Amino acid sequence: MIDSLEALIESGTRGDPCSPLRWTCKSTRTLARELTRQGYQVSSTKIGQLLRTQGYSLQANRKTIEGKQHPDRDAQFEHISKRVSAFLRTRQPAISIDTKKKEPLGNMKNAGRIYRPKGKPTKVTTHDFPDRKLGKAVPYGVYDIALNEAGVSVGVSHDTAEFAVAAIDRWWKRMGKKRYPAAKRLLITADCGGSNSPRTRLWRWALQQFATKTGLKIEVCHYPPGTSKWNKIEHRLFCHITRNWQGVPLESHEIVVNLIGSTKTEEGLEVHAWLDKSKYEKSKKVSDDRLAEVQIKRNTFHGEWNYQILPIK
């Protein structure tokens, strides 16, 4: 019977077939039914025991393959670490930024579970089609690395470079300026794509407007392509927001703002959230003349990832 069981699950084995730990996607009931058809008398419970004895277990996919890695990936990580340490040492602000996944609004199922009276789950719609009238919530986070606090702007429009810089500007006016009254510089660590991509003209031009308005020297360090999960905001802020609103239908922008703003951790994370009702134009063009106004100073090490935007006096 063991040989017959092995033959049934052989085609379903994933990963390295020589590994001592193997798993199958066929259920024990399906396997028991097939073995019974072949003349064996065995229950699904016994099949489960036999699979464990043979070194099988149920496992989910694990995201570990990152694809092609840039040869200077580790060197860029070291560069970012050194720049963050330098800013923290001199008590200058260093932030991690990114856009969280867009959330369609409505009385729709939200992953996770919450405590409710037994037999009375929250009733939601049977489909998850986006509601054009309600739209989507676009959370853009600014995480203060030193103080373990964050400001999140929840947009109602598009995730553009202007929206990203507006979120940084809002964080600076409402939080950063008060925390760092003597600041002369600001370090931004960001992914290499999306609305804060270094290749986007609008990103650089919008940062120039922010630098000139605040008088801050803006230094930007981008993580190499394909390494966004190492961005601090991902595991210090966004995962906690997701846990805080699990099982709660995101029916309106106000609910999203309130749930984000109520996110806390035992390590002392504090989150502030605001609604950004501005409309941001998609695919907005920046002319060569405007781009020429950007006072950009590129680092000798991967200037496409590491650069400064200087204020215009």
The alpha carbon of residue 165 and the mean position of all alpha carbons in its chain are separated, in whole angstroms, by 18
Give the C-alpha separation, 222 to 220, whole Å: 7
Give the C-alpha separation, 60 to 128, whole Å: 24
CB 153 within 8 A of CB 140: yes
- Please report the DSSP string for 207-234 in residue order: HHHHHHHH-PEEEEEEPPTT-GGGSHHI
Tens digits of per-residue pLDDT, 138-194?
999 999 999 999 999 999 999 999 999 999 999 999 999 999 999 999 999 999 999
- Least confident residue range of 31-40, 70-79, 243-252, 275-284: 31-40
Single-letter amino acid code for the residue at 234: E
Token pair for residue 9? Answer: 């699950």
Q: Which long-range contacts (CB under 8 A, 24 or more apart) does 46-50 make?
A: 47/5, 50/1, 50/2, 50/5
Query: CATH 3.30.420.10 region(s) of the chain?
Result: 73-309
Tens digits of per-residue pLDDT, 193-215?
999 999 999 999 999 999 999 99
The confidence band for 116, taking pLDDT boundaries of 50, 70 and 90, is confident
Relative orientation angle of helices 161-171 and 201-214, to the nearest 10 degrees:
20
Comparison of pLDDT for 14 and 47, the residue scoring more? 47
Is residue 236's pLDDT more than 80? Answer: yes
Tens digits of per-residue pLDDT, 53-108?
888 887 777 776 665 678 899 999 999 999 999 999 999 999 999 999 999 999 98
Token pair for residue 278? Answer: 């501005």
Can you give the pLDDT at residue 126?
81
Residue 136: strand pairing partners: 104
**Phi-psi region for residue 297, left (φ > 0), alpha (ψ -120 to 50) or beta?**
beta
Q: Which fold has domain 73-309?
A: Nucleotidyltransferase; domain 5 (3.30.420)
Can you give the pLDDT at residue 59?
76
Please report, for residues 15, 65, 236, 238, the alpha-carbon distance to residue 62 in angstroms, rounded to integers and kept in the order given.
11, 9, 20, 19
